[in-house]
Amino acid sequence: MPTRRDFLASTVAAAALSSAQRHHAPVALAPPLTRPVVLASANGLRGVKVAYDRIVGGADCLDAIISGVNIQELDAEDQSVGLGGLPNAEGVVQLDASCMHGPSKRAGSVGAIEGIATPSLVAKAVMDYTDHIMLVGEGAKRFALAMGFKEQNLLTEKTRQDWLRWKARLNKDDAWLDHNDDVAIKFTTGTINMNAVDARGDISSVTTTSGMAWKIPGRIGDSPVIGAGQYCDNTVGAAGSTGRGEANIKVCGAFLTVEFMRQGLAPEVAVLKTLERLVAMTEPRLLRPDGRPNFDIQFYALAKDGRYAAGTLYDGAQFAVCDDRGARLEKCVSLYPRLPR
C-alpha cells in the first residue's frame, strides 16, 4: 500500500503538471528512441554487420559505416570499389567518395583520386580537417598524403588483365593482342552506399566507388556529389544510390528521396517517386522502344525512425540491412518487371 509520503509526492507532481498546462509551459519529455539500423547496397552485406555492431557498441554512426565500406574498398576481389577497382580507359584506377554526418551537419567528398585505397576515409578527413567539402584529382591525393594516407598501386593483376581484354576489343587492327579466351568484357558502375541511424536518432551516410569501368579519365559520377550519391538530414533520414551516376546527377536523387520523406512519404514510396522522376529526365537516346531506360539504378532510403527501403528500375535487385534481427539481404521495390536477357 502507498504511504502518506507517496500520496503527497504524487499529489504535488500532478498539481505541478496541471499548473504548467494552464500556463502553457513546456513539459520536458524524453526523446523517443529508435532501434539502430544500417542499410546498404547488396555488396555491403558484410559491412552492415560490422557497422551495426560498432553502433551498438557506442561508436559514432559515420565512423561505423565508413568502417563498413572499408571492407569492400580493401577487398582486391571486389572490382567496383577501392583496391582492384576496374580502371579508366588508360588503365588508371580513379576513385570517388563522399560522406555526410547528420549531427554536425557536415560533409566531405573526393573525386578522381588515385593511389589511395580508402577514399571514404579521405572524404571524412576533408570534412573533419578543412573548410571545404570537395577535393578532386591531384589536389585530393596531395591532401591525403599530407594527412598520412599511404599511396599504393590499386591496379591488381586480375584487374589489369580485364583492362587488357577491354583494350584488345576496341579495334581489331590496333597493336593490342587479343584475348581470345575471354567470354565477355566486364563492365560495371559498381558502388557501395551505406546509411545508418543509431538509438538516439542520429544519422549518417557514405558512398564510395571506382566509378564506371573504362571511363574517360577524369570522369566523375554521382558518388562524390553531395545530394546525388548520398545525402543525410538528421531531422529526416538518409538516402544514397548505386548504378548509372549520370542519370542520378540530373535529379539529385539522394536529396530528392530525403525530401520526399520530409513530406511524410514512407521510404518505399520515396524511392519509387525518385525513380519516376529519373525516368522522366532520361534523354531519348537512353530509352528503349517501350520508353523505359536501357540501364538500371538503385536508391536506398532510411528514415530517422528506423524505417527503410530500396528501389530499383527493374525487378530482381536486393539490398543489405542489419538491425536487431541480424544482417540479411532483402528485395528492392521496383518500377518495372525484370529486363529480358
pLDDT reported for residue 35:
86
pLDDT reported for residue 186:
58
Strand order in the sheet with 95-101: 134-136, 106-113, 95-101, 203-209, 191-197, 37-41, 318-323, 326-331
Q: Which residues are catalytic?
A: 191
Report the relative pairing of strands 106-113 and 134-136 from DSSP bridges: parallel
pLDDT along the chain (341 residues), means of 10: 47 44 45 81 97 98 98 93 94 97 98 98 98 98 98 95 83 58 56 97 97 93 97 98 97 98 98 98 96 96 97 97 97 89 60
pLDDT reported for residue 28:
44
Minimal CA–CA distance to 243: which of 197, 193, 282?
193
CATH architecture of 37-83+189-336: 4-Layer Sandwich (3.60)
Strands (E), 47-169: 95-101, 106-113, 134-136
**What contacts 160, CB < 8 A, 6 or more positions away?**
91
pLDDT reported for residue 113:
98
pLDDT reported for residue 135:
98
* Backbone phi, psi, residue 17, to 5°: -65, -40
Reported pTM: 0.87
Angle, in degrees to the nearest 10, between helices 61-73 and 119-129 = 150
pLDDT reported for residue 314:
97
pLDDT reported for residue 157:
93
Q: Under a CB-based contact definition with an 8 Å cutoff, are residues 65 and 194 in contact?
A: yes
Backbone CA torsion sign across 105, 119, 111, 165: negative
pLDDT reported for residue 168:
78
What CA–CA distances, in Å, run from 44 to 15, 38, 161, 192?
54, 10, 26, 7
Distance CA 328, CA 338 (A): 22
pLDDT reported for residue 280:
98
